């Protein structure tokens, strides 16, 4: 139960936000009262206002007894109302006759102390070791002096804090209740969405079909729908891939089985040699197809590419050298055009898949004695690799489909899996690049593939 309450929730965040807001309001009100207090001191202090009012009351008083009566009444009223906020009896009053300086009235708490100071202004004086504000004025026949303990900023803040806090505490639940209800009502569609997703089966990738009433939830549902669509596409792609792979592997497996049977039943050396030759071809085809399937699986992996700093030109020469024997066996002229050295950060496995498959396709599909030119250079946008030949080329109608998996062009005499260009496309995308079909080496003949690889990062 304790863990449940300690878990962070939106309701807790709203409660804490409201508490913080009320605290800030409380602090701002105290600051406001303090500023008002400082402005009052600077413009017209309370003691001075009281002094002017009492002076006005004494101006028309000529009799000493009447003056004492006025002062006693003012003292009683002032102490009862506690206008200054100081404790009762802390305000001291004194009246003297202006002509002879005789003391007419003095507050009982004043004792033997005397109030004195300049007239018409408030000064701070020491009375018996305690600080006091003192104000003096002429009131006709009388000289009036008033004194009270100074009011400090901390006292103002303390006093107003206690006065404001109960009002804020009373208002807090009145504000919290509608906000809490609004949050609970606002989160209800989110809970409905969560319940709808929770009720789905493990393999159910169909659209959620939930239209939230609030605009803030629409991006969430849209993102979930996009994710489910991507998953549906991924599952469909994998199913098609498995189906096509099984179909492609069935042919070489059938040939292997037939030739193994023929080899076992061969009646002479010539029949055994022929069966063995066809068996080895079928095994080689199955091995090549299996390797291409593995390459596609690795390239489809969601792990990001890991570039390495290498000499791309030297690495390409090594890969091309491996294809030279096959090219020479058919009299194909294989040319490599590149700088002597070309340092670059590349994903080596992906780059190797691109070059090997483009070379494999070029040597496989061109006629004997043809030309194949590999070009590698650096540009502003990154590395540019191209493989072009002067073979039969690819008809324009088929070019949009050549990068599809297991697609083989019509009328091709050479056998193939239809995975080579799909691997090239996937590897280029993994490296942040793109592949395009360009013209071959001869006008109207041949085909070229240009791979633009972006700078990593």
**Do 370 and 264 reside in the same domain of the chain?**
no
**Do 432 and 342 reside in the same domain of the chain?**
yes
**Do 310 and 432 reside in the same domain of the chain?**
yes
- Residue 202: C-alpha distances to residues 205, 222, 231 (Å): 8, 20, 13
**Do 365 and 333 reside in the same domain of the chain?**
yes
Boundary-marking domain end, from 124, 151, 178? 151
| N-term to C-term CA, the chain | 48
Predicted local distance difference test score (pLDDT) of residue 37: 75
**Do 12 and 161 reside in the same domain of the chain?**
yes
Q: Tell me, yes or no, whether 65 lies in a domain.
A: yes
**Residue 296 in contact with residue 248, Cβ under 8 Å?**
no
d(CA 358, CA 23): 70
SS (HEC) of the chain: CHHHHHCCCHHHHHHHHHHHHHHHHHHHHHHHHHHHHHHHHHHCCHHHHHHHHHHHHHCCCCCHHHHHHHHHHHHHHHHHHCCCCCCCCCCEEEEEECCCCCEEEECHHHCCCCCCCCECCEEEEEECCEEEEEEEEEECCEEEEEEECCCCHHHHHHHHHHHHHHHHHHHHHHHHHHHHHHHHHHHHHHHHHHHHHHCCCCCCCCCCCCCCCCHHHHHHHHHHHHHHHHHHHHHHHHHHHHHHHHHHHHHHHHHHHHHHHHHHCCCCHHHHHHHHHHHHHHHHHHHHHHHHHHHHHHHHCCCCCCCEEEEHHHHHHHHHHHHHHHHHHCCCEEEEECCCCCEEEECHHHHHHHHHHHHHHHHHHCCCCCEEEEEEEEECCEEEEEEEECCCCCCCCCHHHCCCCCCCCCCCCCCCCCCHHHHHHHHHHHCCCEEEEEEEEECCEEEEEEEEEECCC
Predicted local distance difference test score (pLDDT) of residue 210: 84
Predicted local distance difference test score (pLDDT) of residue 410: 56
Q: Tell me, yes or no, whether 209 lies in a domain.
A: no
Q: Tell me, yes or no, whether 102 lies in a domain.
A: yes
**Do 36 and 182 reside in the same domain of the chain?**
yes
**Do 308 and 378 reside in the same domain of the chain?**
yes
- pTM exceeds 0.85 for this model: no
For the chain (457 residues), the mean pLDDT of every run of 10, in chain order, is: 61 84 89 79 71 88 89 82 60 89 88 86 84 89 88 77 86 85 83 86 85 85 89 79 67 73 76 77 72 68 73 93 92 93 88 89 90 91 91 86 73 60 84 89 88 75
Predicted local distance difference test score (pLDDT) of residue 388: 93
Predicted local distance difference test score (pLDDT) of residue 113: 85
Predicted local distance difference test score (pLDDT) of residue 339: 93
Q: Tell me, yes or no, whether 225 lies in a domain.
A: yes
Question: Nearest CA to 319 among 345, 349, 355?
Answer: 355
Boundary-marking domain end, from 250, 270, 296? 296
Residue 175: both structure tokens together: 């504000």
218 Cβ contact partners less than 8 Å away, ≥ 6 residues apart: 212
Q: Tell me, yes or no, whether 205 lies in a domain.
A: no
405 Cβ contact partners less than 8 Å away, ≥ 6 residues apart: 240, 241, 244, 296, 418, 419, 422
Predicted local distance difference test score (pLDDT) of residue 414: 47
Q: Tell me, yes or no, whether 206 lies in a domain.
A: no
Boundary-marking domain end, from 258, 280, 296? 296
Predicted local distance difference test score (pLDDT) of residue 301: 60
* Residue keyed to tokens 């990068």: 403
**Residue 373 in contact with residue 335, Cβ under 8 Å?**
yes
**Do 132 and 266 reside in the same domain of the chain?**
no
Q: Using CB atoms within 10 Å of the CB of residue 260, give its burial: 0 to 12 exposed, 13 to 18 middle, 19+ buried.
A: middle
Partners of 284 in beta bridges: none
Residue 43: both structure tokens together: 């413009």
HSE (CB half, 13 Å, CA atoms) of 367?
6
Rounded to 5°, angle at Cα 386 from 383 and 391: 175
Rounded to 5°, angle at Cα 80 from 74 and 86: 95
Q: Tell me, yes or no, whether 67 lies in a domain.
A: yes
Q: Tell me, yes or no, whether 196 lies in a domain.
A: no
Q: What is the CATH number of the domain that holds 343?
A: 3.30.565.10
**Do 137 and 275 reside in the same domain of the chain?**
no
Q: What is the CATH number of the domain that holds 229?
A: 1.10.287
Give helix 312-329 / helix 348-365 axis angle, nearest 10°. 20
**Do 174 and 309 reside in the same domain of the chain?**
no
Predicted local distance difference test score (pLDDT) of residue 317: 94
**Do 61 and 12 reside in the same domain of the chain?**
no
Q: Domain count for the chain, please give it.
A: 4
Domain region containing 282: 215-296
**Do 176 and 246 reside in the same domain of the chain?**
no
């Amino acid at each position: 139960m304790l863990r449940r309450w300690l878990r962070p929730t939106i309701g807790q965040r709203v409660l804490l936000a409201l508490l913080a807001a009320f605290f800030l309001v409380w602090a701002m009100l105290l600051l406001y009262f303090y500023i008002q207090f400082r402005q009052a001191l600077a413009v017209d202090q309370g003691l001075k206002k009281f002094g002017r009012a009492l002076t006005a009351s004494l101006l028309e008083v000529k009799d000493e007894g009447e003056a004492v009566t006025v002062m006693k009444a003012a003292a009683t009223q002032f102490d009862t109302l506690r206008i200054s906020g100081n404790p009762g009896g802390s305000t001291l009053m004194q009246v003297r006759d202006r002509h002879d300086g005789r003391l007419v009235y003095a507050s009982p708490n004043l004792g033997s102390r005397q109030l004195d100071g300049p007239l018409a202004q408030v000064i701070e004086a020491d009375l018996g070791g305690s600080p006091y504000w003192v104000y003096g004025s002429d009131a006709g026949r009388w000289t009036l002096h008033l004194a009270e303990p100074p009011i400090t900023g901390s006292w103002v803040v303390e006093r107003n804090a206690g006065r404001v806090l109960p009002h804020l505490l009373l208002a807090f639940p009145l504000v919290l209740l509608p906000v809490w209800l609004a949050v609970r009502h606002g989160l209800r569609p989110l809970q409905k969405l969560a319940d709808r997703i929770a009720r789905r089966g493990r393999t159910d990738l169909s659209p959620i079909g939930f239209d939230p009433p609030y605009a803030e939830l629409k991006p969430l549902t849209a993102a979930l729908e996009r994710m489910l669509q991507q998953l549906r596409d991924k599952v469909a792609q994998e199913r098609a891939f498995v189906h096509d792979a099984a179909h492609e592997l069935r042919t070489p497996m059938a040939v292997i089985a037939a030739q193994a049977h023929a080899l076992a039943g061969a009646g002479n050396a010539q029949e055994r040699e022929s069966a063995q030759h066809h068996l080895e071809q079928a095994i080689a085809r199955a091995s090549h197809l299996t390797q291409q399937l593995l390459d596609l699986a690795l390239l489809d992996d969601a792990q990001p590419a890991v570039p390495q700093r290498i000499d791309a030109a030297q690495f390409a020469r090594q890969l091309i050298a491996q294809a030279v024997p096959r090219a020479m066996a058919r009299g194909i002229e294989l040319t490599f055009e590149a700088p002597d050295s070309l340092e670059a950060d590349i994903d080596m496995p992906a780059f190797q898949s691109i070059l090997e498959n483009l070379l494999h396709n070029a040597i496989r599909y061109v006629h004997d004695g043809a030309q194949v030119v590999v070009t590698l250079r650096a540009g502003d946008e990154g590395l540019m690799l191209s493989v072009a030949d002067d073979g039969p080329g690819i008809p324009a109608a088929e070019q949009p489909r050549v990068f599809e998996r297991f697609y083989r062009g019509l009328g091709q005499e050479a056998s193939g899996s239809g995975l080579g260009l799909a691997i090239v496309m996937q590897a280029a995308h993994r490296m942040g690049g793109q592949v395009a079909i360009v013209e071959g080496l001869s006008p109207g003949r041949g085909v070229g593939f240009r791979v633009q690889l972006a700078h990593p990062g």
